[in-house]
Structures are given as C-alpha cells and as structure tokens.
Structure 1
Amino acid sequence: MDTPRHLDTAPPVAPSPQKKRLKMPDAYVLLFLVALVCAIATYIVPSGAFDRVTNDEITTTVPGSYHTVERSPVTFVGFFSAIAEGMANAGPIIFLILFTGGAIAVLEQTGAITGMVHSIVNKFRERQFLFILIVAAIFSILGTTGIVVNSVIGFIPLGIIVARALKWDAMLGAAVIYLGTYAGFNSTLLSPSPLGISQTIAELPLFSGIGLRTVIYICFVAATIVYLASYARRLKSDKGSLLGSDWFPSKALVSDTEDSENVVWTGKQKLIILVTALCLAGFLVGTFQLGWGDKEMAGTFILIAIIAGLIGGMGGNGIAKTFIGGCQKLVYGALICGMARCISIILDDGNILDTIVNGLANLLQGHGPIFVSVGMYLVSALLHFLISSGSGESVVLIPILAPLSDLLGVTRQVTVQAVMMGEGVVNCLNPTSGVLMAILAATGIPYTRWLKFMWPLALTWFLIGLASIIVGVLIKWGPF
C-alpha cells in the first residue's frame, strides 16, 4: 500500500525572520529633520539679537549689544515657507549645478570628453600618484585664492569620468577635485571671502600673516594628496572600495561609451575642448578681476554648450534637447542646496542664532590664551553646522571674538585663524553644506559612506589646525 504523499513529505520549514537593517535616511529627509529640530528649538531657546551696523556693504554685529527680543517661533506655515525661501536664495548655485549637467551632456554627445579622458588616461594609467598630485594641487590653488569654491560642483562630472577610465570609484573621482579645492580653501591664503572679510572686520592688514598660513596650506594639501593616494592603493587591494560593489551609485554623470576601446580623439573634438578651456579660463579671469561668481559660471556653461554643440554639428534643436536632458539628471543634486540653506533661515526667523552665538562666546571668558584660542576654534566648528556660509559665520563671530581676544591676551590674527580653521575642518563633513550635499546627491554617494571615507582626513586637518593655533598663540602671531 502506498504511503499517502502528505505523510512522507517533510513539513515545510518556516523561513527565519531577517533582521531589518537600519537604513540611512535620504539626504533630503536628513536635512528636513535637521530643519525641523531647529524650528522646534525656536519654541524653547530664548530669542535674542545683536545690534548690527553696515560699513562698506559688510553688515557686522556690535560687540556687547546682545539683548533679548520678543519670541518669534517659526510657525507651521513659516517652516515650509523657509524651505521655499531657501530654494530661492540658493538660486544661483542651483542653476550652476543644472547648467553644468547640461553642458557636460552636450560635450559628451560630441565625443570630446571621451576622447580627452582616454588621452589623459593613456599618459597617467601607470602614474596615478602624479595625476592626483597635479590635479589636487591645481584645484587647491584655485580654492585657496577663492577663484573656485561653490563652483567646484561644475568640475565633479569630469572627476567621475576620469575615475571610470582609471578604474577608480566615484568616491575618489569626486574627492580628487572637491577635496583638492577645499584643502586650499580651508587653509585660505588669498581668498577675499571669508579671509579678506574676516581680516577687514578685525581691522587687520588685508592678507597679513601669510607666512604661517602658507605653511598651514602646504600641510593641508600634502595631507590631502597622501590620503587620496593611499585610497587609490586601497582600490587595487583586497579591501576595495568603501562604496562596496557598486562603485558608481549614480549613472547621471557617466555615459555608456567611457569604457570603449580604441577611442579616436579627432581634431574637431580637440577644438571643442580648447574652446571649453578658454571659456573656463575666461571665467577664472573674470572671477579674479571682476568678482564673478556662481551666476557668471552658470552662464559660462550655457556658452560652452552652445559653442561645443555648433562645432560638433548638433544643430539648435539637438543642443537644446541634449542640454535639457543633462539638466534633468542633476535636479536632485541641485535642489539639495536650497534645502540646506533653509536651516539658517529658520534660525534667523526664530531669533535664536544670536542667542546661540552669545552663549558660546560667554563660555570663553575668564580663561588663558591657549584655552581661549582653542575654544574659539571649537566654537567656530560647532557653529558652522548652523551657519554653513564661511563669510556669514565670519560677520557674526569676528566682531564678538576680536574685542574679547584683546581682553584675554590672544592676538586678532590668531582669532581670525581660529574662526577660519574651525569652519574649514568641518566643511567637508557638514550635512548642512549645500556644496557637499549637492556633490553627494549628484554622484550617488551615501552620506554615511562619505563620512567613513572623510573622517580620517578631517581628523588630520583638525590636528594641523589645532597645532597652528597653539603655535600662533605662542609666537604672538600678529601684527596684533
């Protein structure tokens, strides 16, 4: 007699429940939560304000003028309006990002970028350290002079394209350009903003103290180049990429032709690259001579797209369609800047930013020069998470800290350096930085992975900055 089928079959085993992994919130969700916490704080933190004066179009706080004001908590409507206002205020950088995507798409369509990248790769495939050194050093100069700061976003797509060709991941492709620029900017030598503004407010000679700052700049850039080179070696080892198996999380900045073999770089494509280089050189000259910024660079990318498309034979309709398609790919990365900007708007509308600044400044009184200078360094770093603009932080902090430093035996040059270094060492970790979040959004790099990549270098920068401030106190770095 046959055994019934249901008796000779083993009972099914219930699947074991899988643990749910904690998922990092989307960049927009993260910034929304930060903004929400700030809005709630306007109901808890006492409202206050400093008096302000305007001299030569620079508005600064009046030391000792802090006073309480009527509480003005951010309402439900005000909270969401602040997001819209942040988008409006970030308009220039948003359009810069969008137009960068449009211009890159046109250049890719002509084949000029593919040909150029393969030409570069053929020269540096076996000399990657030299490539990192040259690119990072060039962008550090552009950063430390203030020529390329927010507009570094426009160069990130080229870093991603080169990364694919050199068998790097998106992290290193973005970092060579972004960290190269900000290693220079964070140890600024000749930047009109925020260094020039800070020294003007502190009544110091413009760009004074350049000797020690040059040493700091060299240390920042050298540490950055060594770190990037060590990560490049990691990519070739068993440890691999910090991005895991997906080395290029976002496909928005890459094309399908970058891995093709036997790429021919034609004379027409070389002409396109030459014209592009001349346009960018013209922008750099305009930045230095005429004070051009994000809006002018966005316009430069429109001009590049038109000229490149015409030389490449794309025609008016082809240029427009390709340009708009490129813009669409970077909408996510562009709007993140406005989301980051709304946080400072909420703090201002709620009248609690000055309260926070006043409280931090009061903590420094009654201590020795080294303690005070290091305290200024840490206060500036903490405040930068709320005021992501370097110049914005300077006009708030310097008028308060400069007179305080006179009373506590710290030179004003050290005070300026403490503020510059404080905001600098957290610049590339700050989730409220529109530039950082735009780069991460465009490249698809998760913020948590970027933190894991960035923290060793940020710690190195922090220690260099700490040492420079202590040295400044000991040598009474001046002129005063």
Structure 2
Amino acid sequence: MKNVEQQPKAGSEGIRVPHVWTIILFCLILAGVMTYIVPAGVYDRVEVAGRQVIDPSTFHYVNPTPVNPFDWFVCIIDGLTASMAIMSMIWFTIAATDIYTESGTLHKMVGWIIKVCRGNYLLVMGALMAFFAIRGAMGAFELHIPFVPMTIALSLACGCDVMTGLAIAMIPTFAAFAYGPINVYTVAVAQGIAGLPVYSAMAFRVSVWLIMMVVTFWFVLRYAAKVKADPSVSVTGFVNPSSADIDIGALQKERMTGRQKLLMVMLLATIGLQMVGPMLWKWGFAQIGALWLISGIIAGVVAGFDNEKICGIMGKACAGVFVGVICIGFARSVSVVLTKGNILDTVIYGLSIPLKRLPSSLSALGMLVIQSIINFFIPSGSGQAAVTMPIMAPLADVVGLTRQTAVMAFQLGDGLTNMVIPTMGALVVYIGVAKVPFAKYFKWVLPLYAMLMVVGAVGLLIATFIKLGPF
C-alpha cells in the first residue's frame, strides 16, 4: 500500500492550536483565578434514593474560600488520584490489545471479516459502526478505546486512512452516547433526579437517535469513500501509528494458527465479559481493567512470548497513550478547583438565571447552550446530571417546559460537546491511540458536530411544541 502521509505546509493551518495539556492548564489557572473573583456560594444537598442531590431552592452565598496557586497544582494530583480507576482500565485494555495485535490475531481476524463481506469495505465498516452505536446508546464510552487499533488496521487494509479507522470506533460511540435512549449514565440518572419514569418518552427519543445515527454514518462513510477514491483528501495519511501496513490480498489468504484461533476465542470472551460484567456483577472500571490485565498476560503466554516480551509490549503500549490517559485526571482537576473554591454552584446558578428571561419556545435551546458550557467544566454525564438536573428540572416548571424536555437538553448538551472539548479525557485518549493531532481531529469533526447540534435543536423545538411528557 502506498504511504501518502500528508505534511502540512508552512502557514497553511493558520493559528496553531496549543498542546492539549496547555489548554487544560489554562482552564485550571482560569478556574483558580475565578475562586478569587466569583462569589462563593453553595446549594444544600439532600439525599434522594441514596444519592446526594442539590436542593434548588437553597442557593446561598458563603464566605470566600479562594484556592491558592500552589493548591491549583495540588488539585492536579487530586484529579489524577480520583481518576486512577478509569486511567488504569484504559492502560490495561490498550496494553492487552497490543498483545493480541503483536500475535497477529487481530490482523487475521480483520482479514476474515473482509473475506466474509467479500471485500465490501463499506459493509464491513457499517456493521462495525452499528455495533459501536448500539453499545454507545447503552452507555459504553471509554470501553471502545481498545478497538481503535483494530479499526485502524481494517481501514488501512480497505484502502482508507487513519482518520477513517479512528472514526469507525469513536464517532458512532460518541454520537450514540450523546442521545442514547437507554444510556444508563445520562438519561437514566437525569430522569430519575427529575422525578420522571426511567426511560420514558422512548418512542420520541429513539426517533431522534436514529436520525442522528443516519447523519453520523453518512458523514463517516462518505469520508471513507472519498479517501479511497482520492487519497490526497486524507487529513491524516495512511501510516499505521501502531504497526506495519497491511497487504489486504495476503491478509485474506492467511489462515490462523492453532494458537491464534485460541487467542481469538480468548479475545472474544474478554470482550463478552467486559459487556456483561457491569450488568451482571456491577463491575466498575477497576474490575474491567483487571479483566484486561489478566487477559493480556494469559494471551502473551498462549502466543509463546516470554516475560520480557510481554512486559515490553505492555510498557510500550501504555507509554504510547500516556499523554491522553493523563489528560483524564488532569481535566478533572478543573472541577476539583471549582469545588474547593465553593464557586461551582455559583457558576451553575449564574448560568441558570438567563433562562428565566427567555420566551418558553427558546428556553429549551438556552438550556442546551448552558449544558454545553457546563460540560466543559464537568465532562461527566452522571456528574453533570447530579449537579444540574436538580436545578434544571424545577426551572423547566417555571419557564413553561416539561421536565422531559429539560432532560433532553441536558443529555444533548452533555453528549454532543464530548466530541469537541479538550477537557473530555476519553476524547484525548481515542485520538492519542490513533496519534491524530487534536487540531486535525477538531477541524474534521466540526461539521458533523454542527449537523448533530442542528438535529438536536430541532428535536428540542419539537419536544417544546408537543410538550413532551409525561410531564
């Protein structure tokens, strides 16, 4: 396969986007300065169904508790500590996946998929995207990161580029998560806090979700077809960030060895356990990380690797995504500073005030904008729901919206902005695994983000008009 790595021309990209660590550090410093300027305020918390939520009628100002500059950086350590479970899960899943990749199992699985689909690359990509979309609608998010090396290998084998491979796994995951009808982390939590029946208004939600999926699939597959027809339009080039190029003809002819067949079964079993563990045994990130660590070690033994090679592969894999994984804890430090400075509630309170001044027909769009802004500071679906829904739900009553519409605005604002904000650690990890610069990714995904926001905004206006319920 011909390498067509596109090198940017001097001055062709305009303003240079800073490194993602620099962006997050700027946000951290801004949050720290805000603790000296913004009045400290808090809502009282009450326990509802075993969960601490805000009492929206109790906001009051308190004595200022500014966070000193030294503690801004202490908050980075606090953020890393609080995020260690998810960071470890990502490191170990990537490390274990590289063991399977090094054994040749993943490449031959890709060849088998291509052979079964008789070389119809769009069918292969569409089938994989559907799988990721369904899982994303249920709440899977970071769990698809280990698939990125495989989808990149598939994309390159089909004559497409690295961005296509990244998009196959990442974009349907993010888009489906954004308005997943049965997303356990956002819709279930938000509806529960708002007092709505969990998973209510399902028909309307599924309809909007399907439209979003059509737009998403069209965007990704259209780009894949354009790149295959004209490699010069690629934004990333065709150099595999983790392994050598794949000869698609030879790949389809190769047969798996006995070891590789066993490894394929082990890999599928690991993926299956990853899917059912959270549902059957209430697994969290720590348990999933441990699962992949065990799977990777055993896979290395089955592949015939000695301990030095197993450790070397895993160490190199972890080092390759270090920048992105650290961003998860780094980004969390922003909300840690705001919380320690007792201004997080003040920010939420201030953002909610303008909604009371908007016509009811535009209030839903106002909520969407506010939730999008808040997600920059709290890039956690369930966390943002716990902070904002106790405010937004009763606020919806005041401005003439249904609480179901408020939940919809929250979910769209939280989910869609995950695709473009650098404080979303998982986003940085996805593009870090593919070694795609944030600036290139941002420019590529921005049109899709805009289209999905339009779909979401139209959905909100319809929900406002029909008074989407039950209340």
Taking structure 1 as the reference length, the TM-score comes to 0.90
- Matched residue type, 1:133: G
1:393 aligns with 2:387: no
2:276 corresponding residue in structure 1: 285
1:11 corresponding residue in structure 2: none
Q: What are the residue-to-residue correspondences of 1:256-271 with 2, within 5 Å?
A: 256=244, 258-259=246-247, 261=250, 263-271=254-262
Q: What are the residue-to-residue correspondences of 1:130-279 with 2, within 5 Å?
A: 130-146=123-139, 148-238=140-230, 240-243=232-235, 246-248=237-239, 251=241, 254-256=242-244, 258-259=246-247, 261=250, 263-279=254-270
CA spacing shift, 1:345–1:247, aligned 2, 3 Å: farther
Identity of aligned residues (%): 28
- Matched residue type, 2:147: F
Contact 2:32/2:72 (<8 A) preserved: yes
Match of 2:443 among 446, 452, 456: 452
Q: Root-mean-square deviation (CA), in Å?
A: 2.1
1:329 corresponding residue in structure 2: 320
Q: 1:301, 1:142 → 2: CA distance?
A: 19
Gaps of 5+ in 2: 1-9
2:185 aligns to what SS in structure 1? helix
Structure 1 residue 418, shift from structure 2 partner: 1.0
1:66 corresponding residue in structure 2: 59
Structure 1 residue 19, shift from structure 2 partner: 7.2
Which structure has the larger Rg over C-alpha atoms?
A: 1
2:440 aligns to what SS in structure 1? helix
1:370 aligns to what SS in structure 2? helix
- Matched residue type, 1:88: T
2:436 aligns to what SS in structure 1? coil
Q: 2:308, 2:203 → 1: CA distance?
A: 54
When structure 1 is superposed on structure 2, of 49-58 and 195-204 the one drifting more is 49-58
Q: 2:22, 2:366 → 1: CA distance?
A: 32
Structure 1 residue 232, shift from structure 2 partner: 0.5
- Matched residue type, 1:243: V
1:298 aligns with 2:289: yes
When structure 1 is superposed on structure 2, of 22-31 and 201-210 the one drifting more is 22-31
1:81 aligns with 2:74: yes
Structure 1 residue 394, shift from structure 2 partner: 0.9
Q: 2:111, 2:122 → 1: CA distance?
A: 17
2:3 corresponding residue in structure 1: none
Q: 2:61, 2:247 → 1: CA distance?
A: 62
Q: 2:106, 2:334 → 1: CA distance?
A: 37
Contact 2:132/2:169 (<8 A) preserved: yes
2:57 aligns to what SS in structure 1? coil
1:368 aligns with 2:356: no
2:36 aligns to what SS in structure 1? coil
2:91 corresponding residue in structure 1: 98
Structure 1 residue 124, shift from structure 2 partner: 4.6
Contact 1:27/1:441 (<8 A) preserved: no
Gaps of 5+ in 1: 1-17
Match of 1:26 among 19, 33, 56: 19
Contact 2:41/2:345 (<8 A) preserved: yes
1:128 corresponding residue in structure 2: 121
Structure 1 residue 140, shift from structure 2 partner: 1.0
CA spacing shift, 1:332–1:124, aligned 2, 3 Å: farther
- Matched residue type, 1:335: I
CA spacing shift, 1:237–1:321, aligned 2, 3 Å: closer
Contact 1:376/1:418 (<8 A) preserved: yes
